[in-house]
Structure 1
Amino acid sequence: MRSSLKIIASVAVLAVTAAGCSGKSAADKPAIKIGLAGPMSGAFAVLGISQQNSLQVEIDRINEAGGIDGSQVELVVRDTVLDPAKAVSAANEFAGDEQVKLVVGPSLTSFYEATKGVYEQARKVNCQPGVSTGDFSGLGYGFRSQDPTGLDLQKLMQHYKDAGVRSFGLIYENDDSGKNLDAMLKEAAGQYGIEYLGFQQTRADDQSHKVYVEKLKDADLIFLSSNVGGAKTMAAAAEVGYDGELAGAGSGMQNITFIEAAGDYAQGAIFPAPNYQYPMRDRAAWRPGYRKHIEAVEAAYGKNVGPESGATSPKGTAMAADCVYAWSQAVKAAGGADDTAKVAAAIESLDLSADETPSGNSIAPGSSHEFYSLEDIHLYEWQKDAQGWFVKDVEAGS
């Protein structure tokens, strides 16, 4: 009997030891993976890192609550380095990994155009917080968690029509984004009855945008790039004494690197964006879910501070966090993460209030596969006072 007990005890010890070496017990389930493909290095690294931070905050929240389907959730990151080939490579890797149940990215419209077919063929649910143009309504598994340029322009054009603007022009990089925006503005000009004075195409090596502003000096309004090139346009507008309106054509102007480059010239500039309450000082007025997410990001990763401007921003982007939050709610409704067709259908059917989401925007994708609607887009104006930079919601007056 004693020999038998010793054998049983030895087997038990070996089993425990083996389990300890493997890092999991036999009852543990494999991790569910979420893939992120984005620019983690290079000029746009701030975007990729912000996405990673916000995704990790939401994943931590899910894991602390017990995970998904009894599994912990793990974030897997691939750096696209703004290289289309690396974006496609990451998409293929994620598409072929059965443990990856959600993919976020790659950022930028052109990169997504090159990879969305991979996701569709693999029936891989994916969410895009960095793609501003293109149509998601024909996709089975792709969803957008960013403000589409079309909605931004609707909000902007109606605002400026009501303000009595009679003419406008565009100063933007001579790239696909600039050309697409030019085409959209030509169409919008006819719809809103405002004269379009044309597209001034900038170059990366331009030292000044003075020549472009001078060509549009008679315009009531100039749309400018939300990239650093837009700051050059602002500086040139001040130099030539342009007294019309300046507006960002997209939500990129919320990035404080823009304020760093433009300096005081950014005062009064208007940009469209989904809920962006961070530069508003009264946190009690923030949406509850948004405040919870942003403060978790600050606690874990801190905030960005412009060395010249002193302007601040969180080291996260809540629109990326919406991808994980919406997916997790859809998984609950679908009864699990494995049947991706059911999960995609459940995402379509979501109707989440602005108070609960990480971004502070309502989420109701429907057949368009757009997380946000026109009602979620705000117009913000950059202002500066003795306490520093802040934004004012133009329509709300606050």
Structure 2
Amino acid sequence: MSKFSLGSRRGLKIVAGALAVAAAVAGCSDSSESTDGPVYFGISGPKTGPSAEYGRLWQQGFDLALDEINAAGGINGRKVELKWEDSQSDPKQTVPIATKFVDDKSIIAELGDFSSPASIAASPIYNRGKLVQYGFTNSAVDFTKAGNYSWSPSITLDVFQERNAQWVSTKAKKVSVVYLETDWGKQAFSLFEKFAAQKGVEVVYSSPILPDSTDVKPILIKGREADPEAFVHLGYGPDGALVVKQLRDVGFSGQFFGGQNTPQFISLAGAAAEGDIVNGVFSPADPDPKVQDFVTKFRKKFNTDPGDFNVYAYDAVNVLVQAAKKGGATREGILEGLKTETAFTGIGLGTFAFDQETRRPKGVSPRELVLEDGKFVPTGNR
């Protein structure tokens, strides 16, 4: 064997060994999660499009939460930051966003999306990628059924509509109902109709309305002519404001149930919504000291009162930080924390734990809010 061939073989072995080490290092850097630097959560939510107002409210809640969390040392000294992708709450956009977040190993959990259909479309990707999907505004009953990585603190639609029907039954025995012509709206109406019948409330008229409607007066006139004692709207803030304003325009002066606890709804609806009753989780008029401390901080930062969607976002970040502190600031650590922590704390839900079968909060219920002098205040009913 020549010196040349022996040296070549030794050289090839050294090169091969170096390549193997490099490949191993590269593989680790691609697949492992960082243990230093910032801790990142991915946000899939609407910053533009028809639901952009909700993204704006989320951002306020996130900002206040991060101010407090990072001032207190973050997660074991690591700063918490967000990576936000604008989904417009569109299922066609949430799917590629989910793929991007799963592939980004610096992200240890995802928050969002705003609507249940947008979140549900992306759920298979998060579950296959073993990245917690925290759908903190997703009330659709089926959302958490996608797999062990889909979690939500949101009260489910069946609970909301059972309470809604209960509160309606104290004011009226005959109602007209309008609801969004979406999967969520249809499910909401189906549940409300069922619970209303159980509580002795007759739906004398019902009709879907398109989410982008600008004139629903013909529908509302038919609903008025059915001679209801109250009108029920199942939808969001902008369409709720449209309905209640046009409802008053066509001469219905009875009780209205609908809209949302958001500044946008209150502003758009104006005086037409005075006395409106909604399902909610939060009121800045709540005398609880913890709530009042939050309200004071929020007013100082944003010069306005907080509403439900600010609270949802604020609580969501705090819950995931609490889970990471419990289980570790990794993808599996977040999951472990959600499974094992028994006393999550929030402004909207108070202290709660997750049911491990449904991955929803145990034993929580909405509260009844009434619009008085342009502000939603609690009636005392839960």
TM-score scaled by structure 2? 0.80
Distance 1:315 1:205 in 2: 23
Change (3 A) 1:373 1:287: farther
Distance 1:164 1:222 in 2: 11
The amino acid of 2:120's aligned partner reads E
Task: Give the secondary-structure state (helix, strand or coil) at the position aligned to 2:330.
Answer: coil
Alpha-carbon distance, 1:195 to partner:
1.8
Distance 1:277 1:84 in 2: 31
**In the alignment, what sits opposite 1:19?**
none
Question: Which of 60, 64, 71 is equivalent to 2:71?
Answer: 64
**In the alignment, what sits opposite 1:159?**
167
Assess if the C-alpha contact under 8 Å between 2:95 and 2:121 holds in 1. Answer: yes
Distance 2:334 2:340 in 1: 10
**In the alignment, what sits opposite 1:337?**
329
**In the alignment, what sits opposite 2:353?**
364
Distance 2:311 2:343 in 1: 15
**In the alignment, what sits opposite 1:184?**
191
Task: Give the secondary-structure state (helix, strand or coil) at the position aligned to 2:58.
Answer: helix
Assess if the C-alpha contact under 8 Å between 1:34 and 1:74 holds in 2. Answer: yes
Change (3 A) 1:119 1:292: farther
Distance 2:371 2:81 in 1: 37
The amino acid of 1:369's aligned partner reads R
**In the alignment, what sits opposite 2:371?**
382
Alpha-carbon distance, 1:117 to partner:
0.9
Change (3 A) 1:137 1:87: closer
Distance 2:222 2:347 in 1: 43
**In the alignment, what sits opposite 2:154?**
146
The amino acid of 1:143's aligned partner reads W
Distance 1:122 1:154 in 2: 35
Question: Which of 239, 251, 257 is equivalent to 2:249?
Answer: 239
Change (3 A) 1:148 1:287: farther
Distance 1:344 1:29 in 2: 19
Alpha-carbon distance, 1:122 to partner:
1.2
Change (3 A) 1:50 1:260: closer
Distance 2:331 2:102 in 1: 14
Assess if the C-alpha contact under 8 Å between 1:109 and 1:134 holds in 2. Answer: no
Alpha-carbon distance, 1:317 to partner:
0.8
Is the counterpart of residue 318 in structure 1 residue 311 in structure 2?
Answer: yes
**In the alignment, what sits opposite 1:12?**
none
Is the counterpart of residue 220 in structure 1 residue 229 in structure 2?
Answer: yes
The amino acid of 1:326's aligned partner reads V
Distance 2:315 2:362 in 1: 11
Distance 2:297 2:149 in 1: 29
The amino acid of 1:348's aligned partner reads K
Distance 2:239 2:317 in 1: 32
1:19-50 deviations in Å (ceiling 9; x for gaps): xxxxxxxxx92321111111112332221122
Assess if the C-alpha contact under 8 Å between 2:165 and 2:192 holds in 1. Answer: no
Distance 2:158 2:198 in 1: 13
**In the alignment, what sits opposite 1:277?**
283
Assess if the C-alpha contact under 8 Å between 1:33 and 1:75 holds in 2. Answer: yes
**In the alignment, what sits opposite 2:11?**
none
Distance 2:97 2:303 in 1: 28
1:43-72 deviations in Å (ceiling 9; x for gaps): 322211221232233233232222224422
Distance 1:175 1:223 in 2: 17
Change (3 A) 1:293 1:316: farther
Change (3 A) 1:262 1:57: closer
Distance 1:313 1:321 in 2: 10
Change (3 A) 1:365 1:68: same
**In the alignment, what sits opposite 1:391?**
376
Report 1:102-181 matches (<5 A). Answer: 102-138=109-145, 139-161=147-169, 163=170, 165-181=172-188
Is the counterpart of residue 346 in structure 1 residue 354 in structure 2?
Answer: no
Distance 2:302 2:377 in 1: 26
The amino acid of 2:370's aligned partner reads E
Change (3 A) 1:238 1:131: same
Change (3 A) 1:357 1:230: closer
Change (3 A) 1:119 1:262: same
Change (3 A) 1:164 1:273: closer
Distance 1:156 1:170 in 2: 12
* Structure 1 unpaired stretches of 5+: 1-27, 304-311
Distance 2:307 2:166 in 1: 30
TM-score scaled by structure 1? 0.77
Distance 1:390 1:68 in 2: 36
Task: Give the secondary-structure state (helix, strand or coil) at the position aligned to 2:193.
Answer: helix
**In the alignment, what sits opposite 2:108?**
101
Assess if the C-alpha contact under 8 Å between 1:298 and 1:315 holds in 2. Answer: no
